[in-house]
């Protein structure tokens, strides 16, 4: 009888641990997504010292948010333009990687690109 009680207690503790782990992983993923959006916004607001919007919020230049949300600008093309430049757009990766929140988050170039792309794709 005593043995059975210990076995049930062990199963309950094991179940509780599993449920807690899943909950923590969910919270961690949400915190990571929130950080990615915040860093993406900081990149958009601060790159080149004046932010991407200094050029891309002007109607004569490519409207990144509209192009991304409309499916006309893939993450791959976006990344290539940031890395290599295009037409009047200078290479941007050095400016992006120099932004303090990017450094603080320890982001790689690909993670920084993903963050600003996600920000533009999901912002209101």
The pLDDT of residue 19 = 64
Domains of the chain by range and CATH?
Answer: 33-122 (1.10.760)
pLDDT digits (tens, 9 = 90+) for 78-114: 999 999 999 999 999 999 999 999 999 999 999 999 9
Query: pTM of whole model > 0.75?
Result: no
The pLDDT of residue 29 = 46
The pLDDT of residue 113 = 97
Dihedral angle over CA of 57, 103, 34, 77, nearest 10? 50
Separation between Cα atoms, residue 123 and residue 66, nearest integer Å = 11
The pLDDT of residue 32 = 58
Tell me the HSE value of 34 on the side-chain side, using a 13 A CA sphere: 6
The pLDDT of residue 20 = 60
Chain centre to alpha carbon of residue 59: 26
pLDDT digits (tens, 9 = 90+) for 42-70: 999 999 999 999 999 888 899 999 999 99
């Amino acid at each position: 009888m005593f043995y059975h009680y210990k076995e049930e207690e062990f199963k309950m503790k094991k179940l509780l641990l599993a449920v807690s782990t899943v909950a923590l992983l969910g919270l961690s993923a949400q915190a990571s997504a929130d950080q990615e959006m915040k860093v993406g916004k900081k990149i958009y607001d601060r790159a080149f010292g004046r932010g991407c919007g200094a050029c891309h919020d002007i109607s004569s230049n490519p409207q990144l948010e509209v192009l991304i949300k409309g499916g006309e600008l893939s993450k791959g093309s976006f990344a290539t333009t940031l890395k290599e430049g295009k037409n009047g757009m200078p290479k941007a990766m050095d400016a992006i990687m120099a932004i303090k929140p990017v450094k603080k988050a320890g982001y790689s170039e690909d993670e920084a690109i993903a963050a600003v792309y996600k920000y533009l794709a999901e912002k209101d």
